[in-house]
Amino acid sequence: MQKIVTAVVKPFKLDDVKAALQQAGVTGMTVTEVQGFGRQGGHTEVYRGAEYQVDFQPKVRIEVVCAADRVDQVIDAISQGARTGKIGDGKVWVTEAERVVRIRTGEMGDDAI
Amino acid sequence: MDIDSGATAWVLTSSALVLFMTPGLAFFYGGMVRSKNVLGMLMQNVFSMGVVSVLWVAVGFSLAFGDGGSLIGDLSLAGLGDLGREGFTLPGYVDDLALTIPPVAFAIFQMMFAVITPALITGAVADRMRFAAYAVFIAAWSLLVYAPVAHWVFSPTGWLFALGALDFAGGAVVHINAGAAALVLCLVLGRRKGWPATPMPPHNLPFTVLGTGILWFGWFGFNAGSALGANGLAAQAFLNTNTAAAAGMLGWLVVERVRTGHATTLGAASGAVAGLVAITPCAGFVGGTSAIAIGAVASGLCFLAISLKTKLGYDDSLDVVGVHLVGGLVGSLLLGVFADTSVNSAAADGLLFGGGATLLGKQVVASVVTFAYSAVVTLVLAKLIDLTIGLRVSGEDEDRGLDVSQHAEVAYNM
């Protein structure tokens, strides 16, 4: 069985997360620039004296597909890499991957990872 | 008077510098709009280089500098064919005012002013004006507003020139004129959908800072070129231009830092432009540290003026009124305070230099008349265009953005 570990983290922590995942033996990941808000809320921008409340913060979403028995290690690596201890560090969650296929070879399951 | 090769070279160079200001302005404004409207903004500015250049050669220059009397020129110079003739002299440019550059060079230099002036208006009407309506508007405005006002103030045969009102490079002709038109046009068009409740932050401030650099650079041609000679007066105007831009930037940043807690890049850019606008009428008439005072005072006042628009509820989207109208007025009026005949003996002394309030009074007249004329004719033009071809894009086109709805293009493709 394979799992998808998805994390939303601070953009400037991406390199640390990547290094931690590589350290943990993860060989691939997908990264997207996203926007959103949680407890951190938004921020204020000022243009020619007018203040705007911007609700969405820029964040990076990382997705890692891994074997079920590797999930704890992946979560630890991401958490370790992304943590600053301040509000807005992000979240990690795990979902089920029903099928995984490597397109080039047709390999399935753990072999496709 | 004989043609001076140095003067001619400088005025031709300055003409190129002034032309470059229009694409600079396009980027200054283009960075401030939302990404779906950036091409619409760039296009409105660049289009002015096309339509006004052609009109200027055809009839615009003749209406502004032809020999028609004190209110407007005539059509005798249409097509500019006569200007290169041996022994040709432009009406009024005789005796002390005799040009040392070819009349053709003068017409080219003035053309670049005619190109950028209507382009200044585009910032007020950003994101919502039909391109067809804009095209008709600036063609008509260039001939019906810019040409006569340039005649009154710049041509020695014009009535404000004869009155003794001073305008070195276009505080009234360019900035008050365009600023008044901007105010009226944005009122007739109405607010952008969602303004002011929905934030519409700039999509690319680096463009705006780049545009500011181009404007500042080009402004040396605008102001120092207006000396129409390669001489000490040109150098003085050059120095004043740079000084006022710098003081304008600092003045804005100080006010902004105190009022909002931050010094912003948009503030630095806006303050520099406000200083440049204000020094435009004064550049060849003031000396010493006057340019510092003019730049700093103008930019502080422009910053405060901008906050009025949300209070009064008019959507001057990119602050053409706040920067160009207010900056132009402040510069034109401060000239009545700081003008110094030891810098330019052809001028008059201002309040601080022993000239009393006489010049200031004339500056008030020129400013008020320019504002009123531009506002009234702009209102008539805007209403006429609105009734015939329609001034404003549909709500749906406004939502989609001007780039795709007016030009069938998108600025940023993945």
Show residues of chain A in contact with B199, CB under 8 Å: 45, 52-54
Domain annotation covers residue B25: yes
Do A48 and B306 count as a contact with CB atoms less than 8 A apart? yes
Q: How far apart are the first and last CA of chain B?
A: 60
Least CB-CB distance to B266: which of A48, A51, A54? A48
Tens digit of pLDDT for each residue in A15-58?
A: 999 999 999 999 999 999 999 999 888 888 999 988 888 889 99
Tell me the C-alpha to C-alpha distance, in Å, between residue B219 and each of A111, B41, B72, B120, B243. Answer: 66, 21, 27, 14, 12
pLDDT at position A40? 86
**By a Cβ cutoff of 8 Å, what residues of chain A touch chain B?**
45-54
Domain annotation covers residue B414: no
Q: How far is CA B100 from the centre of its chain?
A: 25
Distance from C-alpha of B70 to C-alpha of B113, rounded to nearest angstrom = 21
DSSP string, B18-63: HHHHHHHHHHHHHTTS-GGGHHHHHHHHHHHHHHHHHHIIIIIHHH
pLDDT at position B12? 98
CA distance A35 to chain B (A): 16
Least CB-CB distance to B256: which of A45, A49, A52? A49
- Confidence class of residue A111 from pLDDT cuts 50, 70 and 90? very high
Tens digit of pLDDT for each residue in B17-42?
A: 999 999 999 999 999 999 999 999 99
Show residues of chain A in contact with B267, CB under 8 Å: 48
Domain annotation covers residue B110: yes
Show residues of chain A in contact with B319, CB under 8 Å: 48
Residue of B nearest to A51 (CA): B260
Test the A interface: residue of B28, B195, B254, B260 with most A CBs within 10 Å: B260
Residue of B nearest to A55 (CA): B199
Contacts of B396 (CB under 8 A, 6+ apart): B405
Instruction: Determine the residue type at A96.
Output: E
Q: In CATH, what number is assigned to the domain containing residue B148?
A: 1.10.3430.10
Least CB-CB distance to B260: which of A46, A53, A54? A46
Domain annotation covers residue B289: yes
DSSP string, B295-363: HHHHHHHHHHHHHHHHHHT---TT-HIIIIIHHHHHHHHHHHHH--TTT-TTS---GGGT-TTHHHHHH
Q: Which residue ranges of chain B lie beneath pLDDT 70? A: 1, 414
Task: Domain count for chain B, please give it.
Answer: 1
Least CB-CB distance to B266: which of A47, A52, A53? A47
Domain annotation covers residue B226: yes
Percent of chain A with pLDDT over 90: 85
Least CB-CB distance to B270: which of A48, A50, A51? A48
Test the B interface: residue of A44, A47, A54, A56 with most B CBs within 10 Å: A47
Which residues form the domain of B278?
5-407
Show residues of chain B in contact with A51, CB under 8 Å: 260
Do B262 and A49 count as a contact with CB atoms less than 8 A apart? no
Domain annotation covers residue B412: no
Distance from C-alpha of B405 to C-alpha of B414, rounded to nearest angstrom = 19
Least CB-CB distance to A51: which of B260, B303, B306? B260
B312 touches A at CB < 8 Å:
no
Show residues of chain B in contact with A45, CB under 8 Å: 199, 201
Phi, psi of A54 (to 5 degrees): -100, 115
Do A45 and B303 count as a contact with CB atoms less than 8 A apart? no
CA distance A54 to chain B (A): 8
Do A52 and B307 count as a contact with CB atoms less than 8 A apart? no
Least CB-CB distance to A49: which of B201, B202, B306? B306
Domain annotation covers residue B279: yes
Tens digit of pLDDT for each residue in B209-224?
A: 999 999 999 999 999 9
Q: How far is CA B342 from the centre of its chain?
A: 27
pTM of the model: 0.92
Read off the tokens for A6: 């998805």
Distance from C-alpha of A107 to C-alpha of B37, rounded to nearest angstrom = 48
B199 touches A at CB < 8 Å:
yes
Domain annotation covers residue B358: yes
pLDDT at position B1? 66
